[in-house]
Chain A
Amino acid sequence: MNNIIGIVNYGVAGNIHSVKKAVEKAGGNALVINSPSDFDLVDKLVIPGVGSFKDAMQELENDNFIGPIQEFSKPVLGICLGMQILSELGYEFGKTKGLSLIDGEVKPILCDGKIPHMGFNKINVKTANILLNGVESEEFYFMHSYEMVNYTDIIALTTYNNHSFVSAVHKENLYGVQFHPEKSREAGIKLLSNFVKL
């Protein structure tokens, strides 16, 4: 079985426990990763993330995670901020370089609605993807003030107050979701189990 799922533990701000619990519920064997030397032990990686782009990159750098994540060739799932930092640049508390694995930038959501965008919302699948199998018409929980601007790797969009933004991406071994599957009931567990089974 290739279901040992490493959950990258970086920095002070983490919903690592929620993610771990959900990965286990989805049939994965969750392993919290505190150091890149443990990357050898896992079949896949989940990068959670709560906090700001800038702090997240700083913490990843402090813990020497940046190079090893960039070189990791097995499947990676970034959740929320964990997806955002896969991109080139972030504009939260100044301009910060991201992991530069996906061609995109992370900018504040500009729309008429209340920010943060918080609550359950639908996804609109743009490109069929194994990650979204069986959950194409489900709702997921969003909790964010920034969005990834990307034109090349979109698999799903979501609309909030007439504003459309990227809610899921896929490029090679990298997957990213702006919403929180670990907080999205059965639909989220299903998505995570799709990832576990990749």
Chain B
Amino acid sequence: MTVRIIAKLDVKPPYVVKPVHFEGYRKMGDPSEMAKKYYDQGADELFYIDIVSSLFQREILFNEIEKAANKLFIPFAAGGGVKSIDDFSKMFDMGADKVVINTHAIQKSPGIIDKAAKIFGSQAVVVNIEAKSWNNYWECYTDCGRIQSQKDVSDWASEVEQRGAGEILLQSVDADGRCRGFDIELAKKVVDLVNIPVVVSSGAGSLEDIKALIEAAHPSGVAIASLLHYDRVTTQEIKQYLNNMMASQ
């Protein structure tokens, strides 16, 4: 099966923004227009993350999510500020197929993962890991790469798998938005550790970066933001490039 190419929208409603190292947001466009654009370009899937909901501790803006989900016939994962089973339900009602959770699960209640997996099925529960590299390990961050959790990424990845998460979105606080390549060591570590799909994000600056990640770490999916937002490539071009790569092997 081919690696999924996923377009990732980091949203600070009402705009898609693009932070560098999870900070300094640049406005990129309207979420629903961009979602439709990437759908038309052939993206396999879409991730929509409200990156300030947890940080600002404000309610989730569900209508924004509904607008973005509305015109797509591909899987749509939504997250940012999810704190309860009720939030999960509302996300699904707004058209999400998967719900992404990070901050609340780490800081307050890891048990929400078990609960959500039981009710909605593992495949609908995605845990977002925001990893920051230290000397010899990676630490999980929350609130959009702001708050340390003192949790080792490996420990947390194993824990969320056991609790029933169906997928991990792995982001790197260090590499995000820099377009200088992925943290491949981090990706390898997590992909090899767990038996659930891992979608790797943060750092794509070129088609070669994506290729290098796939060859070295074998993720189930790659989530791309800047590279697409700045129109440097289209999802179609990425998929074509990867197809050619597979064919030549």
Q: Could you tell me which A residues sit within 8 Å of B by CB distance?
A: 12-15, 17-18, 21-22, 25, 50-52, 55, 81, 93, 113-121, 141, 143-145, 160-161, 180, 182-186, 188-189
Using known A-B contacts A50-B121, A52-B121, A81-B121, determine if residue A114 contacts B197 with beta carbons closer than 8 Å.
yes
Count CB-based A-B contacts (< 8 Å): 97
Q: Are A22 and B221 in contact (CB under 8 A)?
A: no
**If the complex has contacts A52-B121, A144-B123, A183-B97, are A116 and B166 also in contact, measured as CB distance less than 8 A?**
yes
Q: Closest approach, in angstroms, between the C-beta of A109 and any C-beta of chain B?
A: 11
Q: Is the interface of A mostly helix, strand, loop or mixed?
A: mixed
Q: A141-B74, A188-B73 are in contact. List 7 more A-B contacts (CB 8 A).
A: A15-B92, A17-B94, A50-B92, A50-B123, A51-B121, A120-B2, A186-B73
The answer for the CA separation of A118 and B89 in the assembled complex, in Å, is 21
How many residues of B sit at the interface, in one of the four size bands?
A: 20 to 34
A1 to chain B, nearest CB (A): 23
Residues of A within 8 A of B220 (CB): 114, 118-119
CB distance from B14 to the nearest CB of A (A): 22
- Return chain B residues, CB-CB under 8 Å to A17: 93-95
From 192 to 222 in chain B, residues with beta carbon under 8 angstroms from any chain A beta carbon are 194-198, 220-221
Q: Does B4 contact A (CB under 8 A)?
A: yes
Closest 4 CB pairs of A and B: A116-B123, A143-B123, A13-B120, A119-B4
A119 vs B44: C-alpha distance when bound (angstroms): 8
Q: Kindly provide the distance from the CB of A170 to the nearest chain B CB, expressed in whole angstroms.
A: 23
25 CB contacts below 8 A, A to B, read: A12-B89, A12-B119, A14-B92, A17-B93, A18-B95, A18-B97, A22-B73, A93-B118, A114-B196, A116-B167, A116-B197, A118-B123, A118-B166, A118-B220, A119-B1, A119-B221, A121-B1, A141-B44, A143-B123, A144-B123, A145-B121, A183-B75, A185-B73, A185-B74, A188-B73
